[in-house]
Amino acid sequence: MQFYNNKIYTLRLVSDIVIIAISLFLSVLVIKNFHFEMIKPLELLFIVYQIVSWYFIVKANDLYNDSRSRKGLANEIFKTIISVGALGITLIFLLFFVDYQIYGPKFVFFYLIFAIFLLTFEKFILKKILKKLRKKGLNIRRIVIIGQGKAALRFYNIIIRNNDLGYQVVGFIDEEPLKSERTTLLGKIADLKSILEKNKIHEVIVAVPNIEIAQIEEIVEIVNKFGGRTRIIPDYYHFYHNKYVVKNFGDIPVVSIRKEPLEEPHWRNVKRMFDVAFSLFALITICSWLFPILAILIRINSKGPIFFSQKRQGRDKKEFECYKFRSMYVNQNSDIVQATKGDSRITKIGNILRKTSLDELPQFWNVLKGDMSVVGPRPHMMKHNIEYSKIIDDYMVRQLVKPGITGWAQINGFRGETKEDVEMSNRVEYDVWYLENWYFLLDLKIIFLTVWNVFKGEEKAY
């Protein structure tokens, strides 16, 4: 099924790339008053940069993932518009480094309008073409499903709701009577050989709860003799159907019970490049002039060092020194006692720093060093790691990714002091959700909401 899906995936990707290039070409023509000229190196750079950006954006947005396209064309167009918006952001970022006089807001506006209109039209046409091909019986994959449990019926419903995937369920094979009038019971598992002889079947889906290994081997052997493919939906599907991932370790398939997008090298590299670029931007444009001002205010307000460092744990329990502006009077409890509302240890300038999160700015240096990320679970004191790892089951799962200056839990109100264990449990739940559902645009959303919350003010910012 994967190979078949890849044909559709490639067709959609290539079609979109052509549309992206056409949209760029048309927008360049508009700003040049339709004077045809040779493509310049800068315009060629635009095309290559946007094609690469589009690839990563649609991967993050699951635009071509057929198994999720259950709302048809409307859902695909919605995701396309979101993807084009993200593409526009990447172009604006690039335009910071080129001549604004030519490639300014007008260029971006026409580019996005052309892209949205042409991509929407292209997807409408592709859907129509694919449906016509399916009606004529072209590229149809005939399948049978062994079993009638929840997994089998869920799989069947996905196929029925997504006609454009190009699959036809010939019927079910099971020991029990038919559970749905909409389907056909072809026989029992013992009849598999004769069923394959009578019907042209491309794939057999095994979705029988508690099926024995010996029986699976027998099914595979029979299907192989008829030149078909066997797919198995495992029993633990019910527990991890949105999370587990199967990958090969050598020639052995290994099931991971948790989906972790940042385990993919290309996404880790994307996140790291963004971290470096964003940190350099922040350090050069903001911290370069703000640091000296804050340093003077801290020194005038109280005796002690300007910066405060504390050992924290990062990815894979790696220890590092986490930097902050000192916001408290020098005390012996800074490594073991959380800051509380009205804490007498906090200085006057420290109170302002903590409310505006300016005390966290030195952590951009941690990001640059590779100890942290701009976005991720907040690193906790070593004492808290020891305590909470004993009472919260998934606590240490947070450390499968790099800690961040801000995070999904923080923008959802779970920051600062944790008076009760349930508050930390909620924070951990949000942190684990982040590492299982990460995508690049989510990081941008978290950064935006973090800045928004600074201006809006937060109840637990103390």
Query: Which residue in 383, 394, 405 sits closest to 431, CA to CA?
Result: 394
| Residue-range definition of the domain harbouring residue 329 | 265-456
Q: Residue type at 457?
A: G
**Spatial separation of the C-alpha atoms in residues 21 and 48, rounded to whole Å:** 9
Domain edge (last residue) among 187, 208, 241: 241
Same domain, yes or no: 155 and 102: no
Strands in 277-386 per DSSP E: 307-313, 319-325, 373-375
**pTM more than 0.85:** no
462: in domain: no
Residue 256 covered by a domain: no
Instruction: Supply the pLDDT for residue 98.
Output: 65
Look at residue 365 and give its three-state secondary structure. Answer: helix
CA 434 – CA 416 distance, rounded (Å)? 18
Query: Across the 462 residues of the chain, what is the mean pLDDT of every consecutive 10-residue run?
Result: 55 87 85 69 77 84 55 71 86 71 77 90 83 71 86 82 76 81 82 88 87 88 85 70 64 74 87 94 92 92 88 89 89 70 80 87 94 93 86 86 92 76 85 90 89 76 52
253 occurs within a structural domain: no
pLDDT at 198: 87
pLDDT of residue 367: 96
In a domain, 251, yes or no: no
Residues 6+ apart with CB under 8 A from 395: 385, 388, 389, 424, 428
Residues 146 and 234 in one domain: yes
The pLDDT assigned to 373 comes to: 95
What local confidence, expressed as pLDDT, does residue 462 receive? 46
Two tokens, residue 124: 């409408």
Domain count, the chain: 3
- The set of residues, in sequence order, having a beta carbon less than 8 Å from that of 274 and lying 6+ positions away, is 374, 440, 443
Pair 177, 117: CB distance under 8 Å: no
Domain match, 72 and 130 both: yes
302 and 364, same domain (yes or no): yes
- Please tell me the predicted confidence (pLDDT) of residue 296: 92
Q: Show Cβ contacts of residue 362 under 8 Å, excluding neighbours closer than 6 positions.
A: 307, 323, 324, 325
Which residue matches tokens 């959303």? 445
Half-sphere exposure of 168 (CA within 13 A, CB side): 14
Comparing C-alpha atoms, which of 397, 347, 353 is closest to residue 376? 397
Rounded CA gap, 161 and 66, in Å?
Answer: 11
Residue 280 and residue 222 share a domain = no
**Sheet strands (E) in 131-251:** 141-146, 167-173, 185-187, 203-206, 229-232, 245-249
Q: Could you tell me if residue 74 is inside a domain? A: yes
Q: Name the β-bridge partners of 254.
A: 247
Asked whether residue 91 falls in the same domain as residue 201, the answer is no
Query: Residue 155: what pLDDT?
Result: 84
326 phi, psi to nearest 5 deg:
-65, 125
Predicted pLDDT of residue 200: 84
Element (H, E) at 134: helix 105-135
Distance CA 131, CA 113 (A): 27
